[in-house]
Structure 1
């Protein structure tokens, strides 16, 4: 395990050995360390890394609200591979990271986008996550609503917020089943929360909707 700091408001990277290989956590600490109340650990999906617009927006917005953000890169991504491994390997990598995520002694909200959201849901109860943030939860493969992954979402066992694009082909908000979770829609957003110009909504406005919803929800967690 090792850490590298940068000059960006305490931002630092930490490498963590896991059963699935070395993973990496990029830490963005709460602006006032004395008022830090939560860690939000969020991982990427199967097709990209931590540079996505939603993860960048959360990392920029939440430290001002007493939330330390931990951007998690799974071992396959750290190794430079282009394809994500099987779900059980993703889960193994996430489990291996958990001690580092909880080391500060703060409640940890497990989160991720797409495949990362599935990992967070599948392991939340087992790991003792405080809550789950599911960004662009892939309720089903595009065009195949019969292949539902609702059981993963409904089985998280902890307070859960889904933030979903209104035009996400992996599951539009209206397709989600009833259950003990909250859902917020980013109007017109696709799976990556991109919005078409004809919508009248800018990317910045879409991210403001997302970050406002997440910030408000996190404030309700005891």
Structure 2
């Protein structure tokens, strides 16, 4: 990709307090990907970083969203309804008004952020989803499935899952993939090590080639 990239940070009010979107927008962006972080960390996860790098390099606008609990300096995420209630107005603000980001709109994130994306793709009329380390169940509790959330993922969707993810192996996730979803396996567990960089880059580059628009 050639051309300039505009970078800015937008603070957006939500029912849970201000959230924050870190936006990278190439000139003549092909569309927008909005990604949320997990419940145990911020935007520094390697899969989020590589996703932004690959997507922006391919001409997509990317917004990495910090939930209000993280912006406020709290260490523990809120319950799912509070995460959704904050996420929706943040995405709506990015998609409307002055400086709005272009469609098609792809929602996603890692771990808890992937769950939020699945639960809100309908109200936000997302065109696709990119789910990193989807937590199909809590570690050691395969009976507590979140397959009903994964089932909400739109067609098309992509799931990038570590081969030994304690929150759901690729084999477990594959059994619950909705129609139109593609699973990509990457070496590593729920939080990818630095050694997974090459495999993550390859997987996410493959996803970019299949995105709508």
**Does the TM-score normalized on the shorter chain lie above 0.5?**
yes
Is the Cα–Cα contact under 8 Å of residues 129 and 154 in structure 2 kept in the other structure? no
Q: Is the 8 A contact 1:125 1:158 kept in 2?
A: no
Aligned pairs for 1:77-116 within 5 A:
77-102=70-95, 103-116=100-113
Pairs aligned (count): 203
The correspondence for 1:121, drawn from 118, 121, 124, is 118
Gaps of 5+ in 2: none
- Determine whether 1:184 maps to 2:189: no
Counterpart residue number, 1:3: none
Which runs of 5 or more residues in structure 1 are unaligned? 1-7, 196-201
Q: Matched residues in 2 for 1:135 and 1:17: separation? A: 26
**Deviation of 1:216 (Å):** 2.2
- Matched residues in 2 for 1:161 and 1:217: separation? 9
> Which of 157, 160, 164 does residue 163 from structure 1 map onto?
160
* Partner in structure 1 of residue 6 of structure 2: 10
Per-residue CA deviation, residues 8-28 of structure 1 (Å, 9 max, x unaligned), is 942211100011110000011
- The separation in 2 between residues aligned to 1:141 and 1:21, in whole angstroms, is 28
8 Å Cα contact 2:50-2:197 kept in structure 1: no
Secondary structure of the 1:126 match is coil
Q: Distance in 1 between matches of 2:13 and 2:177?
A: 38
Runs of 4+ in 1 over 4 A off after TM superposition: none
Partner residue of 1:72?
65
SS of residue in 1 equivalent to 2:184: strand
For 1:214, which of 193, 207, 210 is the aligned residue? 207
Across the aligned residues of Structure 1 and Structure 2, the Cα RMSD in angstroms comes to 1.6
Cα drift, residue 217 of structure 1:
2.7
Higher RCO (CA < 8 A, seq sep 6+): 2
Normalising to structure 2: TM-score of the pair? Answer: 0.90
Q: What's the TM-score, normalizing by structure 1?
A: 0.86
Q: Return closer, same or farther for 1:94/1:178 CA change in 2, 3 Å cut-off.
A: closer
- Tell me how far 1:178 sits from its aligned partner: 4.3
Q: Distance in 2 between matches of 1:124 and 1:167?
A: 27
Shift of 1:185: 0.5
Q: Distance in 2 between matches of 1:135 and 1:39?
A: 17
Question: Contact 1:124/1:158 (CA < 8 Å) preserved in 2?
Answer: no
Match of 1:144 in 2: 141
